[in-house]
């Protein structure tokens, strides 16, 4: 018992001397990429349709991997990826179009820093 206790003490001593662990990443805001009326005006796509696309994105696009934000990838990149990923997610053609419209509309919210992804192309 003495041995066990001293091992625990040693372990906690080492831990307390170690570098300060990084803070837990803040819980990401689930509404970060939510469509808004400015997005609808800018893209010419109705807010309702953008919500359809956003809903698909939220429900389907994080099943297998972390969702990429719309701004992470350029419009051209989305254009190439979405058909492939819509197939993965089992979307209909209409749903695929809604998703693509949404991703492009949300993408134009921010300066385009994304580039066409080369992971799958
Ligand atoms: C059935 C699982 C599955 C679903 C559902 C899925 N993906 Fe993927 N995704 C993958 C896999 C596997 C890859 C790796 C590349 C490949 O498939 O060729 C990938 C890669 C990607 C990439 C490229 C990542 C990079 O770093 O370049 C993007 C972007 C992406 N997916 C977006 C989406 C979107 C948007 C949806 C929603 C329609 C979606 N995915 C749904 C499996 C999935």
Instruction: Give, in order, the Cα–Cα distances in Å from 63 to each of 12, 40, 57, 89.
Output: 38, 27, 10, 8
Going by alpha carbons, the residue nearest to atom 37 of ligand 1 is 61
pLDDT at 107 over 70: yes
> What does the pLDDT look like over 8-66, one tens digit per residue?
544 444 455 556 666 655 556 778 889 999 999 999 999 999 999 999 999 999 999 99
pLDDT of residue 121: 39
In percent, how much of the chain has pLDDT > 90? 59
| 3-state DSSP of 23-46 | CCCCCCCCCCCCCCHHHHHHHCCC
The reply to whether the predicted model has a pTM over 0.95 is no
What is the length of the chain? 121
Of 63, 67, 88, the residue with max ligand 1 atoms within 8 A of its CB, to mutate for a pocket test, comes to: 88
Of 53, 62, 120, the residue with max ligand 1 atoms within 8 A of its CB, to mutate for a pocket test, comes to: 120
Spatial separation of the C-alpha atoms in residues 109 and 70, rounded to whole Å: 9
Name the average pLDDT for the chain: 80
Spatial separation of the C-alpha atoms in residues 33 and 70, rounded to whole Å: 8
Cβ neighbours around 115 below 10 Å, total? 11
Query: Does ligand 1 come within 6 angstroms of the Cβ of 121?
Result: no
- Contact between 70 and 90 under an 8 Å Cβ cutoff? The reply is no
Minimum-distance ligand 1 atom for the alpha carbon of 120? 18
């Amino acid at each position: 018992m003495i041995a066990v206790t001293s091992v625990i003490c040693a372990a906690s001593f080492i831990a307390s001397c170690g570098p300060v662990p990084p803070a837990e990443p803040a819980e990401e805001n689930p509404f970060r990429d939510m469509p808004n009326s400015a997005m609808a005006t800018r893209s010419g796509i109705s807010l309702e349709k953008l919500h359809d696309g956003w809903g698909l994105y939220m429900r389907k696009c994080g099943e297998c991997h972390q969702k990429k934000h719309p701004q992470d990838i350029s419009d051209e990149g989305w254009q190439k990826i979405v058909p492939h990923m819509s197939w993965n997610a089992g979307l209909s053609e209409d749903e695929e179009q809604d998703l693509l419209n949404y991703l492009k509309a949300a993408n134009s919210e921010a300066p385009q820093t994304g580039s066409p992804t080369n992971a799958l192309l």
